Amino acid sequence: MPRTTKHDTSINIIQRDVNPPILPRPGSKSSVLVKMLMSKRGVTIDEMIVATGWQAHSVRGFLAGTLRRRYGLKANVKETKGGKRRYRVV
């Protein structure tokens, strides 16, 4: 007669350790952007493009993804009188 085994049907929930946010490497383009974003005045997308040489979609991707997920920072947006948006990390 074949031997039967009972399978464990319980589900083990694995909790991910949340790593603390890391900071950009000094001298990198990311560190330049973070410094600019931490200024009291804030910074526009155009200023970030000039500082890094990146295209607009790359700067926006940095703001939406890398800044928040990797560095644990959030950029606040404020629209100026001229219609430009200024980004700033508080």
pLDDT tens digits, 36-84: 999 999 999 999 999 999 999 999 999 999 998 888 899 999 998 889 9
Domain coverage including residue 44: 29-89
Does residue 44 belong to any structural domain of this protein?
A: yes
pTM check: above 0.95: no
Does residue 22 belong to any structural domain of this protein?
A: no
- What's residue 23's pLDDT? 80
Angle between helices 45-52 and 29-37 (to 10 degrees): 150
Does residue 15 belong to any structural domain of this protein?
A: no
Does residue 82 belong to any structural domain of this protein?
A: yes
Helix (DSSP H) and strand (DSSP E) numbers for the chain: 3, 2
Nearest to 29 by CA among 78, 67, 85: 67
Does residue 40 belong to any structural domain of this protein?
A: yes
Q: What is the rounded distance in angstroms from the CA atom of residue 72 to the CA atom of residue 37? A: 13
- What's residue 70's pLDDT? 87
Q: How many domains does the chain have?
A: 1
Q: Identify the DSSP state of 38.
A: T
In three-state secondary structure terms, 76 is strand
Domain containing residue 33: CATH number: 1.10.10
Average pLDDT over residues 28-43: 94
Does residue 83 belong to any structural domain of this protein?
A: yes
pLDDT-wise least confident of 13-17, 25-29, 38-42: 13-17
Does residue 45 belong to any structural domain of this protein?
A: yes
Does residue 23 belong to any structural domain of this protein?
A: no
